[in-house]
Copies of this chain bind each other. A is one copy, B any other.
Amino acid sequence: MTDSAAAPDPGPAAETGVSRRRLLGTAGAAGATGLVLGAAGGAAAWAGTRTDPAALTTVGSTAVPFHRGDGGRHQAGITDPQQAHGHLVAFDLAPGAGRREAAALMRRWSALAGELMAGRPAADGDTGIALDAGPSSLTVTFGFGRTFFDRTSLVTARPVQLDPLPAFSADALDTKRSEGDLWVQIGADDALVAFHALRALQKAAGEAARVRWQMTGFNRSPGATAKPMTARNLMGQVDGTGNPKPSEPDFAQRVFVPSSADPAWMAGGSYAVFRRIRMLLDDWEKLSLGEQEKVIGRRKSDGAPLTGGTETTEPDLDATGADGKPVVPANAHARISAPEQNGGAAMLRRPFSFHDGIAADGTPDAGLLFVCWQADPLRGFVPVQRKLDRGDALSPFIRHEASGLFAVPGAPAAGEYVGQRLLEG
């Protein structure tokens, strides 16, 4: 085990010699209108695509830089294209570990993430699991939970944005699989590369922190569709249409913390809301296609609103059918989650599907590891989820089983580690 007091210097900036095509390719991301599955439910951002033949030849070789140079950019794994495999892991600091051990841990983890994201083995006893494979678009993203600040005597530096999320009536939260002092999001286009990173980060935690919970998810494989498509979730719905686009003028304002914000150490960062959203697939699949489409308010085949057009057409929420009733029902998910129904609330959703086999009751333990990113949860996740919580037709088919809220600082400059401005501020 690595000694928790040891704090090796971070390696050279990982962007050296690294392809940035993935990162730069992000700008074309996501869709345009309003599906917010589960609200707080689903919606695979699947931002960007690697389904064009040229890009496919770089599935393994593509590397995402860890250090961003100017120190003001955001960490990897937020606007980067969604990968095919992911792990979400929460750690709690070990009894007796405080600010000093946390700083050493973040220094070790940052150095390690830089190496792994560049496709290099861990400096200290690499397991070899990722040997042969390229970096495969690996991203490692670090965040701090509310309890971290108590454990490290840094309560005065805690952002108000980490105040606990309100309770929702549909919540059935398992506290053991919720929250945590530290949070790590791992994504890669190869399952062994992702697993390798998970094991290496666990090992590097040493005696300083222990795993609180860990979950595994997936998205569509690069090349599985003939052309770029918005993702589908395990209910079979096109999911991610409504994600904000980096090209929109208020994208950065909605997703990232401005440099003028308080606390200053969060400049360039973002707040991540995580929800494990179980889909009650046995119930859902008993509905007819027409019933499912009324629940969502969109066609299953192509995600177009029931009022017509294509996936990116705005729904006509005032349209009525021959029976005088709204074509998009009053409680349809697409209506309730539409941005114009929520004061323009927006968040960047970037989830993974999950499938953990069969639950004790015989139903599939499957659904969405929902992750959304916003400058302020009270203007992103919370208002949308409140609205959905009161009247979404989708609610009977989903269950929020775990939750987390994490402060994700901006990217470290070369030579810095994630959270350094907090821990040494």
Contacts and interface: CB of A to CB of B under 8 A. Distances in A.
A131 to B, nearest CB: 6
Interface stretch (A3-11, A217-225, A332-340, A411-419): A217-225
A219 B194 CA distance: 12
A195 B355 contact: yes
A288 B125 CA distance: 8
A134 B51 CA distance: 12
Nearest to A58: B223
Contacts of A127: 235-236, 285
Contact of A220 (B56, B125, B133, B281): B133
Given A214-B358, A226-B61, A232-B131, A220 B192 contact: yes
A391 interface: no
Contact of A224 (B128, B136, B199): B136
A369 to B, nearest CB: 12
Interface of A: 51, 53, 56-61, 84-85, 125-129, 131-134, 136, 189-193, 195, 199, 203, 211, 213-216, 218-226, 229, 232, 234-237, 281, 285, 288-289, 300-301, 353, 355-358, 362, 364, 366
Given A53-B57, A131-B236, A134-B226, 8 more contacts: A60-B225, A61-B226, A125-B285, A128-B300, A136-B224, A192-B220, A221-B221, A356-B356
Across the A-B interface, give the 10 residue pairs with the lowest CB-CB distance, nearest first: A128-B236, A59-B223, A190-B224, A191-B218, A53-B57, A60-B224, A56-B56, A133-B224, A190-B221, A129-B236
